[in-house]
């Protein structure tokens, strides 16, 4: 089954979107971890 160019582009876009979402999620997670770490260090 040949996929049209539009379908291919849409799927590509979706993949990229999902990847970006995951990246943002991880960046946010690491930022929170870092802030927690700094908090802990400052309390010592």
- Give the pLDDT confidence of 11-36 residue by residue, as tens digits: 888 899 899 999 999 999 999 999 99
φ, ψ (nearest 5 deg) of residue 8? -60, -45
pTM above 0.75, yes or no: no
Report the candidate in 32, 30, 10, 11 with the shortest Cα–Cα distance to residue 22.
Answer: 30
The residues, ordered by sequence, that sit 6+ positions from 3 with a Cβ below 8 Å of its Cβ are 11
Whole-number pLDDT of residue 43: 83
């Amino acid at each position: 089954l040949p996929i049209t160019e539009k379908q291919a582009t849409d799927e590509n876009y979706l993949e990229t979107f999902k990847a970006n979402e995951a990246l943002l999620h991880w960046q946010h997670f690491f930022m929170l971890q870092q802030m927690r770490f700094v908090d802990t260090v400052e309390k010592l």
